[in-house]
Amino acid sequence: MLTQQGIYSVVHPLINLITAGLYIITGALLLRRLFSTGVEATAGTRNVILVLAAGAAVLHAVILYATIWLDPGLNLSLNNAASMLACVIVVFFLFVSLGRPVENLGVLVLPIAAATVLIAWLWPGNNVIASAAAPFLSAHLIAAFLAYGLLSLAVVQALLLLWQERRLRQKQPGRLIRALPALETMETLLFQMMAAGFVLLTITLISGTLFSKVLFNQPLVFTHHIVFSLLAWLVFGALIVGHWKFGWRGRSAIHWILGGFALLVLGYFGSKFVFEVLLRR
């Protein structure tokens, strides 16, 4: 008779493999749909794809709940954090896809999410924050991962827009480019994502300040993470003001977005990589 531990040892690998498999299958279906015409490219097919992706996201959330929220506290290792961010990105991707024709972003988003599931399962890491800090950290994490998730999706949109613009300039659109919305639609959605992400990032920095005060009895601790996050906030803020007041757009705006996101990645995941991987060797 299987014990509870034995059942978990069987179910845990299985649910990870099913989740990653669903992400990969859905991404492949989206890629096939991009190069298809007629019946294979209908709205019905789109709905099936989004339902499969939603199922994978639900399973992903179940995995995260079991691996991050532990009795001693929150296990926010590098790979767990990356997996959590990927899940948030998928949720945003699904939510935006309900009202906008952006499901093609899943060609990049979904395979990356599958990779984070497998990596976090095989190399979970251990960076547990004590339960005493968990209530404050949970509030901060909600804002942070929502901000990072939406800005990550904006970066994927920016890269796709950059590639779309380049192919159109070369007068080589191809079937894949013709399947995407018009440049104006893509750019409008990009700046909407950026504006919402900037608001969430602002909330993240404010909640991070409050979180630091509770933990360290200081309003703000200027770690590498805080400094890079503030620099990213300034870059995104300058871009939004420039777009609104001076009409910044196109390649220059995309480079600002990529630069600001690189600062965010360096600030959080770069710091975690140094402390959890390089300094522990």
Co-location of 168 and 240 in the same domain: yes
Is this prediction's pTM over 0.85? no
Looking at 70, 105, 126, which one is the last position of a domain? Answer: 126
Are the C-beta atoms of 262 and 234 separated by less than 8 Å? no
Residues 144 and 278 in one domain: yes
Cβ atoms within 10 Å of 217's Cβ, excluding its own: 7
- Res 22: pLDDT: 96
Give yes or no: residues 14 and 117 share one domain: yes
pLDDT tens-digit map of 62-91:
999 888 887 776 788 888 989 999 999 999
Query: Could you say which of 126, 143, 168 is where a domain stops?
Result: 126
Q: Are residues 44 and 112 in the same domain?
A: yes
Which of the listed residues 126, 160, 190 is the one where a domain comes to its end? 126
Q: Does residue 160 sit in the same domain as residue 186?
A: yes
Task: Give the domain range for residue 278.
Answer: 131-281
Domain count, the chain: 2
Give whichever of 34-43, 51-60, 99-108, 177-186 has the largest mean pLDDT.
51-60
Q: Dump pLDDT digits (tens) for 194-223.
A: 999 999 999 888 887 777 666 555 666 667
Whose CA is closest to 240, among 256, 224, 221?
256
Cα separation, 166 vs 168, whole angstroms: 5
